[in-house]
Amino acid sequence: MSVKYSVVERGNPRRSSDPKKFYAQAQGSGEMDFDSMCEDISNRCTATKADISASISGALITIQQSLRKGEVVRFGEFGSFQVGLRSRGADTQKEFNVGFIKGARITFRPGKLLTNMLKTLEYSQVAKLPVKVTNGGNEVGTVAG
**pLDDT tens, position by position, 54-112:** 999 999 999 999 999 999 999 999 999 999 999 999 999 999 999 999 999 999 999 99
Distance CA 32, CA 40 (A): 10
Whether residue 19 has pLDDT greater than 60: yes
Q: Is residue 83 part of a domain?
A: no
Q: Is residue 94 part of a domain?
A: no
Closest CA to 9 of 23, 29, 26, 30: 23
Q: Is residue 26 part of a domain?
A: yes
Question: Checking phi first, is residue 42 left (phi over 0); if not, alpha (psi -120 to 50) or beta?
Answer: alpha
10 Å Cβ neighbour count for 52?
A: 20
Whether residue 53 has pLDDT greater than 80: yes
Whether residue 143 has pLDDT greater than 90: no
pLDDT tens-digit profile of 108-142?
999 999 999 999 999 999 988 766 666 666 655 55
Label residue 52 by pLDDT band (50, 70, 90): very high
128 DSSP assignment? P
127 DSSP assignment? P
Q: Considering the entire predicted model, what is its pTM?
A: 0.72
Q: Which residue segment(s) compose the domain that 140 sits in?
A: 1-30+124-145
Query: Any idea of the CA torsion for 54, 55, 58, 62, to the nearest 10 degrees?
Result: -170
Helices (DSSP H) in 43-125: which residue ranges?
Answer: 49-68, 112-118
In a 13 Å sphere around the CA of 101, the CA atoms on its Cβ side amount to 8
Q: Which H helix or E strand runs over 71? A: none
Q: Is residue 73 part of a domain?
A: no
Tally of domains within the chain = 1
Distance CA 67, CA 54 (A): 20
Q: Is residue 69 part of a domain?
A: no
Give yes or no for a contact between 27 and 129, defined as CB atoms under 8 angstroms apart.
yes
Q: Is residue 79 part of a domain?
A: no
